[in-house]
Amino acid sequence: MKDIDKDYLSCRLCPRNCMVDRTTTRGYCRELNTLHVSRAALHMWEEPCISGTSGSGTVFFSGCNMGCVFCQNRKISRGEVGKFISTERLVEIFFEQQERGANNINLVTGDMFIPTIADAIERAKDQGIKIPFLFNTSSYLNIESVKRLEGLIDIYLPDFKYIREEDAVRYSNAPGYPEAARAAIAEMVRQCPECVFETDAKGQELIKKGVIVRHLLMPGMLIQAKMITKYLYETYGDNIYISLMNQFTPGEGLEKFPEINRKITEAEYRSLVDYASNLGVVNGYVQEGETASESFIPEFDCEGV
């Protein structure tokens, strides 16, 4: 048996600690140990320093260890679409993204496949890939999983969804999320303690190393958003970037959660941005315009896979 397969025999990649043998049985994440990818293409809608003018080379993995009632990517988070691929094919995809002119390899929700992804990155680096690797995650991870990526991931793009346990359980069925996210992000910052940027030929400043923490403002959760912003700034200061997002998009299935079955108001979002500014946050990103739109959700049609 390959060493990588052993990592899936009693899965403890995330705080659920399912201990499922994913070589034969699907975990809570709905995935086995075989890479399951739903899309590999350039993506223009990340933070400007990630997408730039050329795009971010996203690789969307199917499955998810969260259970968000408001999920925008249900088709892939439920494992309903995607192709099963080998590690060798994933390495090929990395180089195809580089050839398309991608600024980075953006691994979206690869949390369930970290051992295999780590192996693929090692192979790609050995073969001379030049662009940085970015890990785009919910942060619902065990710290040992994040440590597995040390020296392989150049840029971390973690969410910090909740700082209140009751909200993590109610809206994402993710017990222990606040503690897990704090620990995971701390390990990411330990690995990448400062943000490093370079200016490309078109004058666009691109991130090459560091941590950008995202928080999606949810309806009725302005206080929690401010608590998260305060925690991040007081803990990490200007060593990280904080990305405050207003693109919460209500979809199907929220009838049982009427308190979040709406979009964010301008007043709510402005209050959060003003709060961050008054705290002293300078290294950050905000969203402008009509970002809470389904048009920003890509088609998961296995493009590029």
pLDDT tens sequence across 158-172: 999 999 999 999 999
> 3-class SS at 119?
helix
Q: pLDDT confidence of 293, banded at 50, 70, 90? A: very low
What is the band of 110 on the pLDDT scale with cuts at 50, 70, 90?
Answer: very high
Residue pair 267/43 in contact (Cβ under 8 Å)? The answer is no
pTM of the model: 0.95
H or E stretch at 89: helix 87-99
Please give the pLDDT value at position 270. Answer: 97
Q: Hey, which bits of the chain come out as E strands? A: 35-43, 56-61, 83-85, 105-108, 133-137, 155-158, 196-199, 205-216, 241-245, 284-286
Does pLDDT of 154 surpass 70? yes
For the chain, what percent of residues have pLDDT higher than 90?
86
- Lowest-pLDDT range of 64-78, 118-132, 225-239: 64-78
In contact, 39 and 302? CB cutoff 8 Å = yes
Rounded Cα distance between 25 and 27, Å, is 6
Q: Tens digit of pLDDT for each residue in 111-131? A: 999 999 999 999 999 999 999
pLDDT of 171: 97
Instruction: Find tokens 């929700």 and name the residue.
Output: 109
Residue 74: which pLDDT band, with cuts at 50, 70 and 90?
A: confident
Over residues 187-220, the pLDDT tens digits come to 999 999 999 999 988 899 999 999 999 999 999 9
With a CB cutoff of 8 Å and minimum separation 6, the contacts of 95 are 124, 127, 129
